[in-house]
């Protein structure tokens, strides 16, 4: 904030709110945020009055820094950002230089219009991803949660692979996946899953479709992209399952993707640029005739719906972020052809000398007898 010349920051992004205050409630469908002032010891949580108890329970904030707006802001046409503006003015901060997260999911066009109109003497600056970038290197406590999340993801992935079989409904496999993601580990629970996909057949040709009640049959392909989380710290993982005897084309694709992913993982160490990881992948797989246009990974960690990515570094051409120890990425290869898809991924931690994958599962195409 000091570098950017900001006096105040209005933080709307749920993972950023969590990172700065501990707040963890499923309340982000209404306007809420943290007011971070350079001059104050603690941020101020502002949200709907019915969520004040959640802020008391989950955040470390002082009672005086938890402020709820009443129900008239939900049902009577009053806007919650007017309430925020009132608080800013009442603290004599109406002339501040205020950072706002312009392109974050829950900071709507209207929220900004109301805030900037009601604080006409303030100046506004785009502080999008300012907090996200501060999150990119993980602490020991964060890494512990991510490793636990990785262990739960493996439990759920193994259960999914075990359950897939001819005549089993896809939704029954998905149900088992969610049960395992949430029941978690014998020693610790899994938190509310964000998005998980489990498409089958032609639906695998698109990355963001889910399951149906179709039954598996010989010749089906199924991509599993799962991510358990511990206190919202996610460890995603993707594998692809083939029911029956896979055609040579799919076996070849699996081999190329596997080779490319191994080579990319080998390249990881502190000091290497994010784009170099993608470039190694691209070199190997292009020679084998495979083209993929989207990025092959992104920084991962604390997340709330609709996204477990952190919105900062990407493993993509042009991204010059230097990898550093204790960064975590989801390295995901998704190939979406016209009629089917193939996915393989690892969530890794950058170590002093390389990469530590959070999953212990093997990386081959998984074949279930048809």
Q: Does the protein bind a copy of itself through residue 182 (CB under 8 A)?
A: yes
Q: Which of residues 125-154 bind a copy of itself (CB under 8 A)?
A: 126, 128
Q: Which of residues 62-91 bind a copy of itself (CB under 8 A)?
A: 70-71, 74-76, 79
- Identify the CA nearest to 222 among candidates 177, 263, 262: 177
Q: Does the protein bind a copy of itself through residue 334 (CB under 8 A)?
A: yes
**Least CB distance to a copy of itself at residue 317 (A):** 8
Q: Which of 33, 184, 260, 301 binds a copy of itself (CB under 8 A)?
A: 184
Q: Does the protein bind a copy of itself through residue 172 (CB under 8 A)?
A: yes
CA distance 275 to 295: 9
Nearer to a copy of itself, 112 or 325 (CB): 112
Q: Does the protein bind a copy of itself through residue 191 (CB under 8 A)?
A: yes
- Give the x/- contact pattern for a copy of itself in 257-286, rule: CB under 8 A: ------------------------------
Q: Does the protein bind a copy of itself through residue 227 (CB under 8 A)?
A: no
Torsion, Cα of 199, 314, 251, 195 (10° steps)? -20
Q: Does the protein bind a copy of itself through residue 107 (CB under 8 A)?
A: yes
Q: Which of 1, 22, 50, 125 binds a copy of itself (CB under 8 A)?
A: 50
How far is residue 230 from each of residues 142, 143, 183, 190, measured CA to CA in Å? 9, 11, 12, 6
Q: Which of 58, 82, 273, 321 binds a copy of itself (CB under 8 A)?
A: 58
Pairing state of beta strands 66-69 and 44-48? parallel
Nearer to a copy of itself, 1 or 50 (CB): 50
Q: What are phi and psi of 264, to 5 degrees?
A: -65, -45
Q: Which residue has the tokens 């990469």?
A: 355
Helix extents (H) in 223-272: 248-267
- Identify the CA nearest to 243 among candidates 273, 263, 217: 217
């Amino acid at each position: 904030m000091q570098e950017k010349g900001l006096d105040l920051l209005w933080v709307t992004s749920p993972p950023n709110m969590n990172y700065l205050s501990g707040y963890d409630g499923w309340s982000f469908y209404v306007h809420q945020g943290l007011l971070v002032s350079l001059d104050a010891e603690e941020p101020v949580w502002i949200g709907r009055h019915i969520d004040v108890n959640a802020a008391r329970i989950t955040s470390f904030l002082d009672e005086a820094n938890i402020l709820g707006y009443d129900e008239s802001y939900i049902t009577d046409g009053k806007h919650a950002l007017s309430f925020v503006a009132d608080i800013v003015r009442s603290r004599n901060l109406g002339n501040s230089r205020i950072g706002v997260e312009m392109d974050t999911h829950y900071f709507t066009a209207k929220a900004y219009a109301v805030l900037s109109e009601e604080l006409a003497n303030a100046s506004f600056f785009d502080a999008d991803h300012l907090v996200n970038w501060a999150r990119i290197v993980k602490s020991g406590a964060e890494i512990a949660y991510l490793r636990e999340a990785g262990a739960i993801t493996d439990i759920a992935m193994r259960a999914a692979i075990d359950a897939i079989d001819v005549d089993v409904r896809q939704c029954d496999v998905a149900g088992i996946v969610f049960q395992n993601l949430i029941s978690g580990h014998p020693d610790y629970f899994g938190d509310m899953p964000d998005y998980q996909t489990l498409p089958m057949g032609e639906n695998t040709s698109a990355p963001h479709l889910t399951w149906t009640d179709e039954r598996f049959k010989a010749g089906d392909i199924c991509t599993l992209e799962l991510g358990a989380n511990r206190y919202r710290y996610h460890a995603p993982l993707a594998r692809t399952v083939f029911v029956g005897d896979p055609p040579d084309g799919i076996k070849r694709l699996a081999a190329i993707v596997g080779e490319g992913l191994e080579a990319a993982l080998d390249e990881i160490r502190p000091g290497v640029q994010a784009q170099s990881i993608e470039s190694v992948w691209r070199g190997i797989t292009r020679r084998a005739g495979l083209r993929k246009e989207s990025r092959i990974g992104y920084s991962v960690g604390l997340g709330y719906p609709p996204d477990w990515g952190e919105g900062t570094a990407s493993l993509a051409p042009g991204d010059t972020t230097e990898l550093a120890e204790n960064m975590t990425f989801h390295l995901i290869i998704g190939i979406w052809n016209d009629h089917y898809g193939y996915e393989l991924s690892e969530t890794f931690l950058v170590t002093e000398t390389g990469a530590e994958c959070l999953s212990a599962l093997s990386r081959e195409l998984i074949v279930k007898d048809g």
